[in-house]
Amino acid sequence: MVEIVGTVFFLLIVCAVAGTLWLLLDQVWAAWVGALIALITLISLALEPRRVRSIGYQLRADDLLFRRGIMYQRFVSVPYGRMQLVDITRGPVARLLGLADLKFVTAAATSGVAIPGLAEADADALRDRLVELAESRRAGL
C-alpha cells in the first residue's frame, strides 16, 4: 500500500511538471514525455497488487524463509542463531496507513531481509518472536 501511495504521488508530480512546461512554456515535448512517464507509472500501479502478493515469509523450526519477486524470485533462508539486529521502520506514509517494515541483519552482508507492509501490531509481535528465537539459538553457539 505504501508503494502505491508513493507511486501516485510521483505520478501527480510528473503530470504537474509536464503540464506546467506544456501550458506555460509551450513545450510540446513535455506533454509527450509526461504522457509516457504517466503510462509507465499506471502500468506499474496495475502490477503492484501482484508484486505485493509475491512477498511472503514463513517461520520454520530453525530459520525464517523469505520470498519475493514475480519474474526474478528470491528465496532467503536466515537461521535464527545468525540474526544480529531486528528493526522496525515506519515512514510517514506507513504511519498514516498503520503499516511498518521489519528489517533484520545477519553476519552475512548479502542476507539482509526486509518484510514490507506489515500491520504495526504484527510487526511488533514478529520482532519480539524473532528476537526470542535468535537469543535462544545463539545461546548454544
Q: What is the pTM of this model?
A: 0.73
Tell me which residue range forms the domain holding 37. 2-52
Cα–Cα distance, 63 to 17 (Å, whole number): 48
Nearest to 7 by CA among 31, 32, 38: 38
Cα–Cα distance, 114 to 88 (Å, whole number): 9
Evaluate whether 86 touches 127 at the Cβ level (below 8 Å): yes
Q: Do 132 and 78 belong together in one domain?
A: yes
Q: Do 69 and 120 belong together in one domain?
A: yes
pLDDT digits (tens, 9 = 90+) for 10-69: 888 888 888 787 778 777 777 788 788 888 888 888 888 888 888 899 999 888 999 998
Q: Do 18 and 60 belong together in one domain?
A: no
Report how many domains make up the chain: 2
Q: Do 65 and 127 belong together in one domain?
A: yes
Q: Do 93 and 67 belong together in one domain?
A: yes
